[in-house]
A and B are shown apart, each in its own frame.
Chain A
Amino acid sequence: MRPAAQHHPHVRALAVDGVSVTLGGRRILDEVAFTVQRGQFTGLIGSNGAGKTTLLRVILGLQRPHAGRVLLAGRPRARRNRSIGYVPQKVGLDPDLPMRARDLVELGIDGHRLGIARPSPARRELVAEMLAAVDAERFADSRVGRLSGGEQQRILIAHALVARPQLLLLDEPLANLDLRSGQEIVSLLDRIATEHEIAVLLSVHEMNPLLSVMDRVVYLAGGRAVSGTTDQVIRSDVLSGLYGHRVEVLHVAGRILVVAGGPAATNGSPDGLPGAAPLPDAR
């Protein structure tokens, strides 16, 4: 199914090893451990406040973990590592920013460098190639701050990809998108993961849009994580163990719903359960 990944069956792009983070006296991440392979699409699933952004910031080196370590391609991450592409949760581009969409993509090549970039045909071609890859040629010359949320998302993905990272982190890229744009972004990322043989780690609080493309799942709750394939992780017994109370995983019309269940939570409250919806007949 994934020819690219089969060529390199055991290339670990990322290993998170026993990472713990305490913020404001509260343990946000508790010995989180998982690995991500090249060419694979991994979903980082957790409800609001579960610690998804914090975990991504640890991987990026923007947040120092209090315990544990992060390995990139088998080696400890360097202090200033540029082999990771990142699409933050909130960017908030100013509508009047004097920058075309293609300029923001170009900044992805070497925006950290000193001095002014010399324009060259090779650079222009690289940018054009990336714009094509995310299907953004139509609006490449518009002011980037005036694009729609979905259009900006594509530009930010191109910005993150143009430096050819081995690992692409996206923090809730689907949050502001309608269902169709969300599906387009997801299949785009799936294609990029396969074609460019990079590892994609994408955080969501609602896993259903990812079901068709996810190779693996990292499920965060209460600061702890379980990881594996969807079938291994999204199960009543596994998630009940993670949450510390009884939850039910329901398959309804091709969708997965995680709801609180059992005698411990008789009101069926979906509090803190990603993808949960109050289901009257699930009680």
Chain B
Amino acid sequence: MGWLIEPGFFASAQVHTALVIGAAAALVSAVVGVFTVIRGQSFGGHALTDASATGGSGSLLAGVNPLLGFVVGAVTAAGAMEAIGVRHARGRDLATGIVLGASIGLASLFLYLDTTATATTGATQQILFGSIFAPAPGTVPIVAGFGAASLAIILALYRPLLLTSISGDLAAARGVPVRLVGLAYMLALALAVALSSLAIGAILSTALLIGPPATALHATRRAGRALIGAAGLGIACTWIGVLLAYDSAHWFSDGNGLPVSFFIVAVIFLAYLISDLTTHRATRRSTAAGRTGALVGDRDPRAAR
């Protein structure tokens, strides 16, 4: 056990903070991310991560908590995308591209100013790769508040969101205010992106948003189970990443470990790869046996006959 979990892991206050913030970010990202994948808005989600980088780097200039910067950046961008983007997929794509470009441009300016002002690279590190082990003071309550708000939006709108994600016409015919539901969802997405920017950094937060949901969606054909599976997987990946980062300090003689966001993203990617490979293996095997379409965890009752 000693080689797996280096001494002091459970006693470290830094580790406690990292596990709590990591779990919150992973949970919210996974729940929101399932809908991001269903709605085919990964690109939009990624644009929001860039916008949160802008907000985060700006917040350091202004001297406020970076998490607030992440939230303001992502929420503003989400609003801008809704305002520019008309309802059609092409308009949305365009709006996303415009917001993304503007965000990266501003972020690079802010980060440049941050580094020249403080004469360290710490600011860039913190914004781009997260600060899960050493968040600014008072961060945990803000994480809890925004996380709860994001989850509340998704759970309250669960059914209308599913319906609008399937077909806007179907939802509108049932009296669902499609535009409003989309707006609320974008707000939840912006909050989720801000939290994962804090945990694993703005440029990597797409991984937490898309990876666990994509993996979970491989394995089930029920939305509720995808939600629970993605949440469990996201939290597990984040915790394993935190553990490995903690351990990695003992791997090198100088005591400097590797970045935690690297480990989290690597574990997420590995999980996706494994699920993808097993799914394909199963498909090939079942096809060879003369059946079609039977996937692991997704057995078609007709095919099984």
Contact = CB atoms under 8 A, between A and B. Distances in A.
Contact of B222 (A96, A103, A113, A146): A103
B301 interface: yes
A62 B173 CA distance: 7
B176 interface: yes
B119 interface: no
Interface string B222-253: 11111000000000000000000000000000
Given A91-B169, A91-B170, A104-B166, A115 B302 contact: no
Contacts of A98: 34, 38, 217, 220-223, 225-226
A99 B222 contact: yes
Contacts of B145: none
Contacts of B175: 80-82, 112
Contact of B301 (A99, A107, A141, A159): A141
B293 interface: yes
A195 to B, nearest CB: 23
Contacts of B293: 146
B158 A99 contact: no
Chain A residues touching B, majority SS: loop
A142 to B, nearest CB: 5
Contacts of A107: 159, 162-163, 166
Interface string A29-72: 00000000000000000000000000000001010000000000
B94 interface: no
A139 B302 contact: yes
Nearest to A116: B158
A88 interface: yes
Interface residues of B, number: 34
A264 interface: no
A252 interface: no
A97 B174 CA distance: 20
Contact of B167 (A91, A117, A146): A91
B157 interface: yes
B140 interface: no
Interface string A135-177: 0001101110010000000001001000000000000000000
B277 interface: no
A94 interface: yes
Interface in B147-173: 155-160, 162-163, 166-167, 169-173
Contacts of A91: 166-167, 169-170
A143 B226 CA distance: 13
A84 B170 CA distance: 11
Interface residues of A, number: 36
Nearest to B226: A98
Contacts of A143: 221, 298, 300
A114 B157 contact: yes
A110 interface: yes
A254 interface: no
A262 interface: no
A60 B171 CA distance: 12
B159 A117 contact: yes
Interface in A98-125: 98-100, 103-104, 107, 110-117
Point out which of B157, B159, B173, B225 has the most chain A C-beta atoms below 10 A from its C-beta.
Answer: B173
A107 B159 CA distance: 7
Contacts of A111: 159-160, 162-163, 171, 174, 176
Which 6 interchain pairs have the tightest Cβ spacing?
A80-B175, A86-B173, A88-B169, A111-B163, A112-B174, A98-B226
22 contacts: A60-B172, A60-B173, A80-B175, A91-B169, A93-B167, A96-B217, A97-B38, A98-B222, A98-B225, A98-B226, A104-B166, A107-B166, A111-B162, A115-B155, A115-B156, A116-B158, A116-B224, A117-B159, A138-B302, A143-B221, A146-B300, A156-B170
